């Protein structure tokens, strides 16, 4: 029997993946308008290079990367730039975005382009092609992938971990990528191995996806050291630090990154996206999104043009049910509730979950009863109860002394809290406040 690969602490929320687990990936129709924010990745926003009235073809650049930790943004549909506006962003703010009126009679065929052959490229050439294509982490964090493929010269990477855990409830995006496109995943792995010059790859998949494990195993390359590892089903098994602990037994120290323990972690969807860049020559202009929850009539796994408004996505899934109550981008543990049906799908949007009233938590919270459940749940061994008290009191320096920056914002503490205290949301707000205060002090 294989060992139970996992980590300490964590939680077991209801999975609810059955709603969309049987839904094969299908392509949604092009909407009449797409809205592409210049900031949809970690790092500096892209720099705009188009103007109102410009005609653009699918795949054309709208904005170029502004520095190394940045990513270009491309048109996801052929049409006319109708405006450059401040537009509702899934992070709750308004951000500059390019609004494109989609040409109603266009076949949406991209311009003919030269497809670089990855085997003829040096590692640096692969990294450049990945940056030019605007590939970012598709697991939610949207960190530019070319940066992960460029570790510092003095760091030795010995293992590439492919993250197929998909531990957030409801989401079945990565599940279906592995099930329906296993060869694409393996091609992406080959390309990444060359870019990173690594010889060993481990693919971690939670045991609740036996058909995906089978599909990936059945197509494993015989000429490479690539292995598949079924993981214990536990949240947040897909967090990078938890995956490294489960598969390699290595601890990423406080304040350090996976590369400091010789590892690069890449989401399975990003790996497939890299393969697609070299198969089609097209940049990252569409992605697979799970649309699920009891508030949607037809739970689906859809290929969606980046920039599609959530109202068009809902229409492509037969609309809302009568008890639809809340829309969340991402999964219910780490996702962000949305206040507008005009927010666009970003490169990093894994899922749109429409929760019915009985799937949502009550909003009221109560005083801490010092039960300690949050300490027992925290996968990185923080003291959420103490951090929460310090954050509420505005004692920001002390929250830093108690490692608030090591918090993964995974939501385990909020999930188990019997007083319904929104701890992880509190830590997110506190970190934003600390960042702003530091920027002001440095100005």
* Interaction of residue 413 with ligand SF4, rule CB under 6 A: yes
CB of 424 to ligand SF4, least distance (A): 4
Q: Which of 24, 153, 363, 370 binds ligand SF4 (CB under 6 A)?
A: 370
* Interaction of residue 355 with ligand SF4, rule CB under 6 A: no
Candidates 84-92, 170-178, 318-326, 369-377: pick the segment binding ligand SF4 (CB under 6 A).
369-377
State the DSSP code for 332: T
In DSSP terms, which residues pair with 320 in a beta bridge? 296
* Interaction of residue 385 with ligand SF4, rule CB under 6 A: yes
- The binding track of 417-436 with respect to ligand SF4, each residue x by CB under 6 A or -, is xxx-x-xx--x---------
Candidates 21-29, 177-185, 207-215, 368-376: pick the segment binding ligand SF4 (CB under 6 A).
368-376
36 in helix, strand or coil?
A: strand
* Interaction of residue 252 with ligand SF4, rule CB under 6 A: no
CB of 433 to ligand SF4, least distance (A): 16
For 115-142, letters b (16+ CB in 10 Å) and e give ebebeebeeeebbbbbbbbbbbbbbbeb
Say if CB 183 and CB 147 are below 8 A apart.
Answer: no
Helix axes 173-180, 268-280, angle to 10 degrees: 50
By beta-carbon proximity to ligand SF4, the closer residue of 261 and 377 is 377
In DSSP terms, which residues pair with 336 in a beta bridge? 329
113 in helix, strand or coil?
A: coil
Residue 167 CB burial class (10 angstroms; 0-12, 13-18, ≥19) = buried
By beta-carbon proximity to ligand SF4, the closer residue of 321 and 419 is 419
Say if CB 296 and CB 290 are below 8 A apart.
Answer: no
Q: Which of 348, 408, 426, 431 binds ligand SF4 (CB under 6 A)?
A: 408
In the numeric block, the tokens 């492509």 are attached to: 316
* Interaction of residue 334 with ligand SF4, rule CB under 6 A: no
State the DSSP code for 411: -
Q: Which of 412, 426, 430, 431 binds ligand SF4 (CB under 6 A)?
A: 412
Q: Which of 16, 41, 146, 373 binds ligand SF4 (CB under 6 A)?
A: 373
Say if CB 133 and CB 277 are below 8 A apart.
Answer: yes
Say if CB 80 and CB 54 are below 8 A apart.
Answer: yes
By beta-carbon proximity to ligand SF4, the closer residue of 130 and 242 is 242
* Interaction of residue 237 with ligand SF4, rule CB under 6 A: no
State the DSSP code for 45: P
Q: Which of 266, 410, 426, 431 binds ligand SF4 (CB under 6 A)?
A: 410
* Residues near ligand SF4 (CB under 6 A): 368-374, 377-378, 380, 382, 384-385, 388, 407-413, 416-419, 421, 423-424, 427
């Amino acid at each position: 029997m294989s060992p139970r690969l996992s980590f300490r602490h964590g939680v077991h929320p209801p999975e609810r993946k059955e709603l969309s687990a049987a839904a094969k990936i299908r392509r949604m129709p092009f909407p009449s308008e797409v809205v592409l924010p210049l900031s949809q990745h970690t790092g500096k926003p892209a720099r705009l290079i188009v103007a109102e009235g410009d005609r653009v073809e699918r795949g054309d650049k709208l904005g170029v990367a502004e520095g190394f930790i940045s990513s270009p943004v491309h048109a996801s549909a052929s049409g006319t730039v109708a405006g450059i506006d401040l537009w509702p962003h899934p992070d709750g703010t308004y951000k500059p975005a390019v609004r494109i009126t989609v040409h109603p009679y266009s076949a949406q065929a991209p311009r003919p382009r030269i497809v670089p052959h990855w085997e003829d490229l040096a590692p640096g050439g692969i990294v450049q092609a990945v940056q030019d294509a605007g590939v970012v982490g598709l697991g939610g964090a949207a960190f530019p992938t070319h940066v992960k493929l460029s570790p510092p010269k003095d760091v030795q990477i010995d293992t590439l971990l492919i993250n197929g855990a998909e531990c957030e409830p409801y989401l079945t995006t990565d599940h279906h990528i592995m099930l329906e496109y296993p060869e694409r995943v393996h091609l992406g792995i080959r390309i990444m191995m060359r870019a990173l010059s690594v010889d060993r790859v481990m693919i971690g998949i939670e045991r609740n996806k036996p058909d995906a494990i089978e599909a990936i195993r059945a197509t494993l390359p015989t000429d490479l050291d690539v292995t598949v590892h079924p993981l214990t089903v536990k949240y947040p098994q897909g967090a990078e630090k938890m995956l490294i602990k489960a598969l390699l037994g290595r601890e990423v120290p406080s304040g350090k990154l996976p590369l400091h323990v010789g590892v690069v972690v890449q989401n399975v969807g990003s790996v497939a996206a890299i393969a697609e860049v070299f198969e089609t020559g097209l940049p990252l202009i569409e992605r697979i999104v799970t649309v699920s929850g009891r508030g949607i009539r037809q739970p689906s796994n859809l290929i969606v043009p980046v920039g599609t408004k959530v109202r068009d996505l809902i229409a492509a899934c037969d609309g809302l049910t009568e008890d639809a109550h809340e829309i969340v981008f991402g999964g219910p543990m780490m996702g962000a509730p949305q206040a507008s049906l005009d927010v666009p799908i970003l490169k990093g949007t894994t899922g749109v979950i429409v929760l019915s009233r009985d799937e949502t938590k009550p909003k009221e919270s109560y005083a801490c009863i010092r039960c300690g459940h949050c300490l027992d749940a925290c996968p990185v061994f923080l003291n959420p109860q103490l951090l929460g008290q310090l954050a509420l009191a505005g004692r920001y320096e002390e929250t830093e002394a108690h490692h608030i920056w090591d918090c993964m914002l995974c939501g385990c503490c909020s999930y188990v809290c019997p007083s319904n205290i929104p701890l992880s949301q509190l830590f997110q707000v506190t970190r934003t406040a600390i960042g702003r205060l530091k920027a002001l002090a440095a100005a």
